[in-house]
Homo-oligomer: A and B are copies of this chain.
Amino acid sequence: MDAEIIAVGSEMLTRERVDTNSLYLTGELNNLGVEVVTKCVIGDDRDRLADAVRRALSRTGIVLLSGGLGPTEDDVTREAVAQALDRKLVFHPEIADALEQRFLLMKRKMAEVNKRQAFVIQGADLLPNDRGTAPGQWVEESGGVVVLLPGPPHELKAMFERQCLPRLTRIVPKQAIRTIFFRVTGMPESDLDQLIAPVYKKYENPVTTILAANGDLQIHLRARCATEAEADALLAEVAGPIELLLGDRLYSRNGSPLEVVVGDLLRKNHATVSVAESCTGGMLGERFTSAPGSSDYFVGGFITYSNKMKMELLGVSPEMLEEFGAVSKETAEAMALGARRRTNSTYALSVTGVAGPDAGTKAAPLGAVYVGIADAAGTYVAHRQFIGDRQRIRVFTTQMALDLLRRRITGRVHVDSPKPIVG
């Protein structure tokens, strides 16, 4: 069974406001096994709203509306739904009386305009609102249902929970829903899709969704079955082969972000890490420390944005900078060694690259990035050529650095020729 959600109100069509009621409603519907297939925001325009309700009901069994139930001329939801269903609006004097009582309780006189809230769509169930003045309405129509809910989130939530959930449970077929949330890094979205599509394409259930952002890939699997056991079995059937295909590119099975996964690995190994950042300017440290409790393993580091700082704070030699340049394998290695030497951390990560907007040089063009790692056994430097703007290159670089550390801790990166740690 599918649902559509319509938020009503011109204020949600401005550049500042988003409709958040639909997130709550989506969560509650998904828990019942109902998918939301379309969400809309419609301004305070009766005809347009009536049209949207009519179209939604022609496609889906459940149409939830939020907002537009207030007392003013701008509040058009009642009229629009009545128009869409071709039903009359009926005045209920007992609602008007209750509203008047409510105003008396607040020692205020009710404005005449509030009587608009006493109009109910013919044949609708009234949904009492104990947190505000606007009652909701539940209107069944040719096997489907249109629900009118108030806009203020605390009114909407209370009404949905108390009045709608019990009614929906009666009309929605019973299902169990189970999910898996993988995270992957180090490959483009298209490669990931090509790799795992042969597995997930065979299944309509579970539904598989791939999301890409900032060099990070998320794979959501969601199974709907009659029982939890069946859903878990279906998930396992699809997730197993996907895990095998992904191998060590799969870094999280529960949706944890990379900095948390790496932090947990460090903590488990009683290890610490320090950073030496050039082009990322602190972003790598910021990501490490965004995880609560990161002081267990993150000791600190150096932001060496200039060559002078690379020399003075990390001990990179002027000759090396002269010979190889600041953006080079050699400098990355020297930075990692310097950070480790000065902080005595188990691991040190270094980052140097060309984030732009300057075009860089032939040897180190825009987007060229070196990430170094040093530990007791030696060093390793990874090189990548990114494209995109400054922000993108920097974010991808932190992702690359975190992943290099993850692979080193789990024994998948072998360091080169052990170097003596010298002062």
Contact = CB atoms under 8 A, between A and B. Distances in A.
A282 B259 CA distance: 14
A112 interface: yes
A218 to B, nearest CB: 9
A107 interface: yes
Given A38-B40, A38-B41, A107-B385, A304 B300 contact: yes
Contact of A294 (B14, B113, B281): B281
Interface in A152-202: 152, 154, 158, 188-191, 193-194, 197, 201
B52 A385 contact: no
B300 A300 contact: no
Contact of A290 (B19, B73, B152, B391): B391
A389 B131 contact: yes
A302 B14 CA distance: 40
Interface stretch (A262-270, A306-314, A372-380): A306-314
Interface stretch (A20-28, A89-97, A242-250, A403-411): A20-28
A290 B48 contact: no
- A-B residue pairs, 4 tightest by C-beta: A281-B289, A282-B285, A282-B282, A15-B27
A122 B356 CA distance: 37
Nearest to A103: B188
A131 B388 CA distance: 5
Nearest to A291: B390
Interface of A: 10-16, 18-20, 23-24, 26-27, 30, 35-43, 45, 48, 52, 55, 59, 70-74, 102, 105-108, 110-114, 131-133, 152, 154, 158, 188-191, 193-194, 197, 201, 209-211, 213, 220, 275, 277, 279-290, 292-295, 298-306, 308-309, 312-313, 342-343, 356-357, 385-392, 394
Given A281-B288, A282-B284, 6 more contacts: A15-B24, A73-B197, A106-B387, A275-B303, A301-B303, A312-B343
A52 B74 CA distance: 25
Given A13-B37, A55-B55, A286 B289 contact: no
A362 to B, nearest CB: 14
19 contacts: A15-B209, A39-B41, A48-B59, A73-B197, A105-B387, A107-B385, A111-B194, A113-B193, A154-B391, A281-B294, A282-B284, A282-B285, A282-B301, A292-B356, A299-B306, A300-B304, A300-B309, A303-B303, A313-B342
Contacts of A342: 312-313
A390 B39 CA distance: 31
A146 to B, nearest CB: 18
A299 B294 contact: no
Given A313-B342, A388-B131, A390-B292, A209 B10 contact: yes
Contacts of A26: 13-15
A390 B131 CA distance: 11
Contact of A13 (B36, B74, B201): B36
